Amino acid sequence: MRKRRLGNSEIEIAPIAFGGNVFGWTVDEAMSFRLLDGFVDAGFDFIDTADVYSRWHPGNTGGESETIIGNWLKARGNRDKVIIATKLGMDMGGENKGLSRAYMMRAVEDSLRRLQTDYIDLYQAHRDDPNTPLEETLYAFQTLIQQGKVRVIGASNYTEPRLKEALETSRRLGLPRYETLQPLYNLMERGEFEGPLEGLCELEKVGVITYYSLASGFLTGKYRSQADLAGRTRGSRVEKYLNPIGMRVLDALDEIARHHHAKPGQIALAWLLARPSVTAPIVSATNMEQLAEMLKAPDIELTPTEIARLGAASHP
């Protein structure tokens, strides 16, 4: 399996990232350990989480995902075998949010403690903070890198103008730059990333790690009608895809999957991996069968005709 570099950094990863948003939410610690073991045993190494995961779940306060990953790292003793990415900046309650230097210094210590590690491989601004100057945030990231607590920094949910401004600020002041971007991007939601933002990432060689890569599970083909949404955790997120475009995309995925003796979700991930700008899609799984299925995606090579077919089906 050929690894891919995170931007211009020295860090290389296998081309699928495990999304830790499910840990402490739809997956308990025991199953989380099994999934992480299966992920690493299959030759993958990149685990993405955030301090805010999974604060939205009743009874949670945030940090649950990092805590589970930290317990797994301690139990397995394999910290040097995996790449750990986490994020900060989302509302953690009270004054604990944003990208001010003062908060970043506290937030990194909380994440390191929960992860039970001395360093974070990729530390990402979860979203832009318009109330804090970019210089302040980037100087703070520089301090964390100098202290050995962070190796590489990245951004998530940044617009093209703000990412461009951040990269120019790093260049002008000689500060560490965002080596990665984590955008919302999949066959059903292309408009936010494609265009100027994707072009900037390609021009600046910023690695792209896509989230909601399977459109909350819609692109696996398991949601094809309102009846399929009943009782599902992500049903409300998927309902918006039950439209003519969504059905067109599923038809195309079904057709191409049959040709490759694969599943629709694998084809959707293969489409992302075929995009020159994409470094690795983030995928989550709640059981071992889902995990095994998704990890086969890098082995699928779509033809130019198949890529064009999916592009046409997903075009508004």
The distance in angstroms from the start CA to the end CA of the chain is 34
In the chain, % helix, strand, coil (3-state, to 5) comes to 45, 15, 40
SS3 208: strand
- Whether the CB-CB separation of 45 and 13 falls below 8 Å is answered with yes
Neighbours of 121 (CB within 10 A): 21
Question: 238-257: string of b/e by CB count within 10 Å (b at 16+)?
Answer: beebbeeebeebbebbeebb
- Whether the CB-CB separation of 163 and 23 falls below 8 Å is answered with no
Angle of helix 304-313 versus helix 244-260 axis, rounded to 10: 160
Which residues form the catalytic set?
53
Neighbours of 96 (CB within 10 A): 17
Place of tokens 């002041």: 173
What distance lies between CA 252 and its chain's CA centroid? 25
* Pairing verdict, β 12-13 and 4-5: antiparallel
Q: Which of 202, 229, 220, 198 is nearest to 264 (CA)?
A: 220
